[in-house]
Amino acid sequence: MKLRIPEHANIVLGQSHFIKTVEDLFEAMVNALPQIRFGVAFNEASGPCLTRADGNDPELVQAAVEIASAVAAGHFFSVVMREGFPINVLKAIQSVPEVCNIFCATANPVEVIVAETEQGRGVLGVVDGSSPKGVESTEQAQERRDFLRRIGYKR
């Protein structure tokens, strides 16, 4: 299933295991990067089996809910963000005790591979972006190095 990612947004998709995931992911996001705008949604897998949501940007909260609802797998979470990148928050998300797995962190087009049984739905994996078109040349490798230094990720 193809996901709709809002323009100029990045997503993190993962699996977690407890109702307090939404609150803990909220705290992880603002503690990692206070100016980040985001929405978080988490699908419960027991009890009322609701999609729980939070965030500090209503549009991004709605986008996270739409992604979680479309995937409709228990214990699945989606984070949709702007004014920050996954590289800024990924370690904080991974350190949340409930987080079991990260499927992807990207702004690329994403397709989620979902299995459905009599019990429910589960994520088998994701297709993140496009397949490689070749191996970088020496010139392209230098362009990559220059780009990382220009945006401040390398010295």
Q: What is the CATH number of the domain that holds 14?
A: 3.40.1520.10
CB under 8 Å to 152, separation ≥6 — which residues?
Answer: none
Which pLDDT band holds residue 11 (cuts at 50, 70, 90)?
very high
Residue 100 lies in a domain: yes
Whether 151 has a pLDDT exceeding 90, the answer reads: no
Residue 25 lies in a domain: yes
Count the domains in the chain.
Answer: 1
The string of pLDDT tens digits covering residues 95-105 is: 999 999 999 99
CB under 8 Å to 118, separation ≥6 — which residues?
Answer: none
What is the span of the domain harbouring residue 121?
Answer: 10-150
- Residues 4-11 have a mean pLDDT of 96
The string of pLDDT tens digits covering residues 50-82 is: 999 999 999 999 999 999 999 999 999 999 999
Residue 70 lies in a domain: yes
- 30 three-class SS: helix
CB 81 within 8 A of CB 34: no
Whether 136 has a pLDDT exceeding 90, the answer reads: yes
Residue 139 lies in a domain: yes
Whether 154 has a pLDDT exceeding 90, the answer reads: no
Residue 75 lies in a domain: yes
Taking Cα atoms as reference points, which of 56, 62, 71 lies closest to residue 15?
71
Other C-beta atoms closer than 10 Å to the C-beta of 38 total 28
pLDDT at residue number 155:
85
The string of pLDDT tens digits covering residues 94-131 is: 999 999 999 999 999 999 999 999 999 999 999 999 99
Can you tell me the distance from the alpha carbon of 136 to that of 140, in angstroms, rounded to the nearest whole number? Answer: 6
Residue 111 lies in a domain: yes
Residue 2 lies in a domain: no
Residue 138 lies in a domain: yes
CB 86 within 8 A of CB 10: yes
Which pLDDT band holds residue 153 (cuts at 50, 70, 90)?
confident
